[in-house]
Amino acid sequence: MVRCLLGAVCLMLTLLMQSAYGAGTTDTWYYLQDRGLSVTEVATSELEWQRSLWQAPNLGFTQHAYWFRYAIPSVTVQDGSWYLWLHNAILTEVDVWVQRNQMPPVKVQPAAMRMPAYPLRLESGSDYVLYLRIQSNTALQLPAELVTETELLTLKEEQDSLFGLFVGILFSMMLYNLVLYVSVRDKSFLLYVGHACALLFFVFSWQGLGSRYLWPHWPAFQNMSVALSTFSVIGFSTWFCGVFLSINQHNFKGTRVFWLVRNLGFMGLLVTPFMPYSWAIFSSSFLSFFAVLMVISAMVARVSLRHRPSRLFVMGWTMYVIGALVMGLNKFGLIEVTPTSENLILWGAVFDMVLLCIALGDKFHDERNLKIRAQEMAIKAVRREKNAKEMAISKQQQAQRALQEAADAQDQYARLLERRVRERTLELKRTQQNLEHVSELDALTKLKNRRYLVDRLQQELKACKDKGCSFAIVMVDIDHFKQVNDSHGHLAGDECIRSVGRLMQDRLRNGVDIVCRYGGEEFVLILPDTREAEAMVKAENIRSYIAQTPILCEHQRIMVTISVGVMVVDPDAVPARSEEVIQQADQALYQAKHQGRNCVCLA
C-alpha cells in the first residue's frame, strides 16, 4: 500500500513538472507601476517598462496597481478566436485592452468562467499588444496563457476534472472519519474532519470555486474567505499534528510556540472580518511559514520511522508541508508561478488525507494492543526487577574492577601521549618553518615573491622611520618581452625571466639586497641602507650588465634590455604604506619606458 502511494506521488509530481504557464507564447511580459495613467498614455508614452523575471509575472504582496504589456508578433498570429486565460481567480481588479497595429487600444470584456478568460479575435499579418491593469489584495501574480478556443475548452475540462477528483477525495475522507469519530469517540478523528473541512474551504477560496458557485453574489466575502481559509488550515493542521504526535513540554521543547501558532490561526478567523483584506491575507500567508516550521520540528522530534503510523504520517505531511512551503514562497514572489507551485499543496493534501486516514486507523489499533500488552508487561516487570537488582550488584563489582584497570591504563596512556605531543610539536615547528620559506618563493624563478615583498617593505619603512636610515627600491621590467614569447615561445620566455633574475642577483650584495619577482616580467629590488647616488649606480650597473650579457633560451642566445625605475625613501619623508613606495617606483619605471627603454629613471 505504501509503495503504491509513493509511486502515485512521484507520478503526480512528474505530471505537474511537465507543464508551465505561458505555453504557446514567444514573447515575455513587461510591467510598470500604475501612477494614474490611462491606457492611451500607457500605449503611446515612452515609459520605463520592466521585463518580467519569469514567464509568469510574480510581484508578491503589493498594494499598488500595475500595468502589464505583452506583444504578440504577427508571425505567431493565426486567424481565429483566441483567449487570454489567467490562472488566478482571486485578482481584485483586472482590465484588459488589445491594440492592433498601433491603433487605439480596445477594452476586452471577460468570459463567464471560473478562471478569468478574455476572448480575442486575431487576424494573421497583424501585430497585437495586450495591456492589462491589475490590482490585487492578495499576491499580484499573472500566470497567463494565450490559447485557442478549442485548447481552452480542453484544458478547462481537464482542470475541472482534476479539481472535482480532489474535492471528491477530501469530501469522502471527511465523511468516513466523521463516522469513525461517532463510533470510537477519538478526538484525533474529529480533528481530521476539521482539517479536511479547512482544506475544502481553502480550495474553494483560492481556486475561485466559491466565488463562482457558492457565493457569487458576495464579492466581499470572497476576499475575506482567502484569509479565513488560510487561518483555518493553519489552526486545524497544527492542532491535528500536535494531537497525533502527542507533543508536550517533556518530549518537545517548542511546545508553547507550537500551540501559539495554532491559537494565532484560530484567532485570525475571529479578527479577519475586522481587518483590511490585504493585511489579513498577508498575515495569514506569513503565519503559514511558522506553521510549516513548527510541524517539521515536531515531526523531527517525535516521529520514529520504525512505527508504521509514524511512517505514514511523515509521508503524508512531508508532501503536504512541501506543498505549503512552495505555495508560500510562490505568494511572496520568491519563486516562479507554475502549475507545480500553485497545485502541489492541493495534491499533497490529497495524499496527506489518504495516508493520515490509514495512519489514524493504525494508531487506534496500536493503542488498543498497547493496553493489553501493558498488563502483561506489569507482571513481567516485577520479575525483571528482582533479576535486575541481582545483576546490578554483580555489575557494580565488575565496574569497580574495570574502573581501576581503566585508571591504570589511562595513566600509562597519558604519559605516552605527553611524549608523543612533544615529538609532534617539534615536527610541526620544523614543518611550519619549511612552509613559511616555501610560501615566500616565486614558483618560476625561486626568488622572493610579491607577498614577501609587501611584508619586507613594511619592515624597511618601520626601520627607516625608527633608525633614520634610508633605503631604495628598484623596479625592473624586461623590454619588449612579448616579442621574446612570440619569437621563441613561452618556455623560452620563462627561461628569460629566470635568467634575468639570476643576473640581477649576481650584481647585488649577497645576504643584504633582495630580488623579488613582482609579476610577469617585472622585478623589484630592495636595497637596504642605500642612498640615492649609490642606488642609481647599482641600478645602472645592473642595466648595463644585462644589456651586455647574452641569455641562453631554448638553445638560442638572445639579448634583452631592461627599463629601471628607482625610488629612494628618506627618513625625513617616510610613506605610511608600502603601496605608495611601489607606486612611485612604478611611475619612475613608466618614465624610463617613455624615454625609450633601456635606461634608469629616478622617482
* C-beta separation of 42 from 131 below 8 A: yes
> What is the predicted pLDDT for the residue at 156?
81
Mean pLDDT along residues 81-87: 86
Highest mean pLDDT among 7-11, 164-168, 199-203, 506-510: 506-510
Whether residue 18 has pLDDT greater than 90: no
Residues with Cβ within 8 Å of residue 66, at least 6 apart in sequence: 31, 32, 33, 34, 59, 133, 134, 135, 140
Tell me the C-alpha distance between 518 and 451, whole Å.
Answer: 9
Lowest mean pLDDT among 278-287, 365-374, 383-392, 546-555: 365-374
> What is the predicted pLDDT for the residue at 20?
53
37 pLDDT tier (thresholds 50, 70, 90): confident
Other CB atoms within a 10 A radius of the CB of residue 309 amount to 22
Question: Helix, strand, or coil here: 131?
Answer: strand
Other CB atoms within a 10 A radius of the CB of residue 423 amount to 9
> What is the predicted pLDDT for the residue at 116?
85
Mean pLDDT along residues 345-356: 70
The percentage of residues in the chain with a pLDDT greater than 70, rounded to a whole number, is 89
Mean pLDDT along residues 484-513: 88
> What is the predicted pLDDT for the residue at 366?
67
Beta strand 117-122 with 522-527 is unpaired
> What is the predicted pLDDT for the residue at 93?
85
Mean pLDDT along residues 34-57: 86
- Order of strands, edge to edge, in the sheet holding 80-86? 117-122, 80-86, 144-148
Whether residue 202 has pLDDT greater than 50: yes
CA 420 and chain centroid, separation: 46
- pLDDT tens, residue by residue, 473-485: 999 999 998 888 8
Whether residue 321 has pLDDT greater than 80: no
> What is the predicted pLDDT for the residue at 97?
92
> What is the predicted pLDDT for the residue at 1?
40
Q: Any alpha helices (H) in 440-468, and if so which ranges?
A: 450-467
44 pLDDT tier (thresholds 50, 70, 90): confident
> What is the predicted pLDDT for the residue at 4?
43
* C-beta separation of 252 from 301 below 8 A: yes
Whether residue 23 has pLDDT greater than 50: no
Mean pLDDT along residues 555-578: 87
Lowest mean pLDDT among 283-297, 363-377, 555-569: 363-377
Whether residue 8 has pLDDT greater than 50: no
- pLDDT tens, residue by residue, 206-224: 777 777 777 777 777 777 8
DSSP state of 202: H
Whether residue 305 has pLDDT greater than 50: yes
Whether residue 504 has pLDDT greater than 80: yes
* C-beta separation of 432 from 493 below 8 A: no
Q: Is the dihedral of CA 394, 399, 400, 402 positive or negative?
A: positive
Whether residue 262 has pLDDT greater than 70: yes
Lowest mean pLDDT among 80-84, 347-351, 459-463: 347-351
- pLDDT tens, residue by residue, 137-150: 777 878 888 888 88
Our answer to whether residue 145 is catalytic in this structure is: no
Higher pLDDT, 193 or 17: 193
- pLDDT tens, residue by residue, 376-432: 788 888 888 888 888 888 888 888 888 888 888 888 888 888 888 888 878 888 777
CATH code that applies to domain 450-602:
3.30.70.270
168 pLDDT tier (thresholds 50, 70, 90): confident
Lowest mean pLDDT among 392-406, 444-458, 589-603: 392-406
Tell me the C-alpha distance between 29 and 93, whole Å.
Answer: 18
DSSP string, 86-114: ES-TT-SEEEEEEEETTPPPEEEPPBSSS
CA-based radius of gyration for the chain: 40
580 pLDDT tier (thresholds 50, 70, 90): confident
> What is the predicted pLDDT for the residue at 587?
93
Alpha-carbon separation of residue 386 from 73, 376, 383, 389, 395 (angstroms)? 89, 17, 5, 5, 14
Higher pLDDT, 22 or 289: 289
Q: Give backbone dihedrals phi and psi of 557, rounded to 5 degrees, phi first.
A: -95, 125
CATH code that applies to domain 22-142:
2.60.40.2380
Other CB atoms within a 10 A radius of the CB of residue 470 amount to 20
- The widest CA-to-CA distance across the chain, in whole angstroms, is 109
Element holding 118 (H helix, E strand)? strand 117-122
Catalytic-labelled residue, pool 336, 342, 495, 521? 521
560 pLDDT tier (thresholds 50, 70, 90): very high
DSSP state of 78: -
Lowest mean pLDDT among 153-157, 165-169, 321-325, 553-557: 321-325
DSSP state of 76: G
- For residue 511, the cross-strand partners are none
Beta strand 556-558 with 117-122 is unpaired
Tell me the C-alpha distance between 347 and 165, whole Å.
Answer: 10
Whether 22-142 shares its CATH topology with 450-602 is answered no
Tell me the C-alpha distance between 576 and 284, whole Å.
Answer: 59
In the structure grid, which three cell numbers stand for residue 121, read together? Answer: 479575435
* C-beta separation of 509 from 542 below 8 A: no
**Polymer length of the chain:** 603
CA 188 and chain centroid, separation: 38
* C-beta separation of 474 from 566 below 8 A: yes
Whether residue 14 has pLDDT greater than 50: no
Mean pLDDT along residues 448-473: 88
Other CB atoms within a 10 A radius of the CB of residue 124 amount to 11
Higher pLDDT, 250 or 278: 250
> What is the predicted pLDDT for the residue at 438?
64
* C-beta separation of 446 from 438 below 8 A: no
Q: What are the residue boundaries of the structural domains of the chain, listed by start?
A: 22-142, 450-602
Whether residue 60 has pLDDT greater than 50: yes
Tell me the C-alpha distance between 579 and 518, whole Å.
Answer: 13
> What is the predicted pLDDT for the residue at 11?
43
